[in-house]
């Protein structure tokens, strides 16, 4: 999933005046790449494509291309070059994403690498509509029954944890975002009874939410007011967050099941590695 944004990084993004902000580009960086022209505000593919895609799935809000201009560097141009192809080279995208993804390209890149979207952009609109319809069914099937006796413990724990999620970042204390969190976490928990909801899963949504909202607010997303977006757009953001969270957890679900076998396996691997290089520790 290449999901690397930590809580520390989110707090830095919430305070852009911090001189140690790692997202600020170097002024002396070489922007030239063979075969790829430097980007201009009117030529940013990622957000231009997302605007077109949004129109096809009925989104009323528009992405602002200027959010990409400060990332007109070598890495960003490489992403634009790959993602603008009629058939995306998945191996090249994986290799490029390993060292980090520009904010404005991250949502689309994650959706492709996770398997939510195919390598054929022409199919993306239809796929996203299906994903949205499927999620709407989950809301009516699962979330409407959240107060039933059998699920009361799950929804209660979720409601306790949501206000604790990045408490120093304004957007996570927004009512609409907290309602979104409640639906995402509860529906995921009910659909995965082997682990259900576990504390810590709520934190995983943070970087995903940032990437899903970035096209609308840019680097100000963490201090923005989501109520300025229409209901359909907020639903699309929620759908993107739910499916990306689901794909992420599919790969690490054994870290959350009883006895946490995934974590135990990793601990044994670390132990063997330490024994290999420093046997005196044992």
Tens of pLDDT along the chain (282 residues)? 444 444 445 544 555 555 444 444 444 433 333 344 433 333 456 666 666 666 656 665 555 545 554 444 778 889 989 999 999 999 999 999 998 898 889 999 999 999 999 999 999 999 999 999 999 999 999 998 787 767 788 999 999 999 999 999 999 999 999 999 999 999 999 999 888 898 889 999 999 999 999 988 988 898 999 989 999 999 999 999 999 999 999 988 888 888 888 899 999 999 898 888 887 776
Closest by Cα among 73, 72, 21, 86 to 44: 72
Closest by Cα among 40, 48, 116, 93 to 71: 40
The C-alpha torsion from 156 through 161 and 167 to 172, rounded to 10°, is -70
In a domain, 23, yes or no: no
- What DSSP designation does 191 have? H
pLDDT for residue 25:
40
In a domain, 30, yes or no: no
CB-based contacts of 78, cutoff 8 Å, min separation 6: 33, 36, 96
Closest by Cα among 226, 194, 193, 200 to 212: 226
Contacts for 244-248: CB closer than 8 Å, 24+ residues apart? 244/1, 244/110, 244/111, 244/114, 244/116, 244/208, 244/212, 245/184, 245/188, 245/201, 245/204, 245/205, 245/208, 246/188, 247/1, 247/114, 247/115, 247/116, 248/1, 248/3, 248/114, 248/204, 248/208
In a domain, 245, yes or no: yes
Q: What is d(CA 162, CA 173) in angstroms, rounded to the nearest whole number?
A: 9
Could you give the number of structural domains in the chain?
Answer: 1
In a domain, 282, yes or no: no
In a domain, 69, yes or no: yes
Domain limits for position 72: 45-264
In a domain, 37, yes or no: no
Q: What is d(CA 89, CA 250) in angstroms, rounded to the nearest whole number?
A: 24
pLDDT for residue 158:
95
In a domain, 187, yes or no: yes
Q: What is d(CA 230, CA 271) in angstroms, rounded to the nearest whole number?
A: 51
In a domain, 15, yes or no: no
Phi, psi of 130 (to 5 degrees): -65, -40
pLDDT for residue 66:
52
Q: What is d(CA 133, CA 127) in angstroms, rounded to the nearest whole number?
A: 10
- What DSSP designation does 33 have? B
């Amino acid at each position: 999933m290449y999901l690397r944004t930590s809580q520390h990084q989110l707090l830095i993004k919430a305070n852009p005046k911090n001189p140690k902000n790692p997202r600020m580009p170097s002024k002396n960086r070489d922007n030239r790449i063979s075969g790829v022209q430097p980007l201009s505000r009117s030529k940013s593919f990622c957000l231009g494509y997302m605007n077109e895609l949004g129109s096809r799935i009925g989104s009323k809000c528009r992405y602002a291309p200027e959010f990409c201009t400060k990332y007109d560097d070598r890495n960003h141009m490489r992403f634009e070059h790959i993602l603008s192809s009629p058939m995306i080279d998945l191996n090249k995208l994986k290799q490029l994403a390993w060292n980090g993804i520009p904010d404005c390209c991250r949502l689309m890149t994650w959706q492709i690498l996770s398997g939510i979207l195919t390598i054929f952009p022409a199919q993306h609109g239809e796929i996203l509509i299906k994903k949205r319809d499927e999620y709407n069914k989950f809301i009516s099937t699962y979330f409407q029954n959240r107060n039933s006796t059998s699920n009361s413990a799950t929804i209660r724990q979720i409601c306790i944890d949501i206000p604790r999620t990045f408490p120093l970042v304004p957007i996570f204390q927004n009512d609409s975002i907290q309602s979104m969190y409640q639906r995402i976490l509860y529906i995921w928990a009910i659909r995965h009874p082997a682990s259900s909801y576990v504390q810590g899963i709520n934190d995983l949504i943070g970087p995903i939410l940032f990437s899903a909202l970035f096209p609308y607010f840019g680097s100000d997303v963490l201090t923005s007011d989501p109520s300025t977006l229409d209901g359909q757009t907020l639903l699309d953001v929620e759908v993107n967050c739910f499916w990306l969270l689901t794909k992420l957890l599919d790969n690490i679900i054994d870290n959350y099941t009883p006895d946490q076998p995934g974590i135990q396996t990793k601990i044994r691997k670390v132990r063997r590695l330490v024994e290999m290089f420093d046997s005196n520790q044992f």
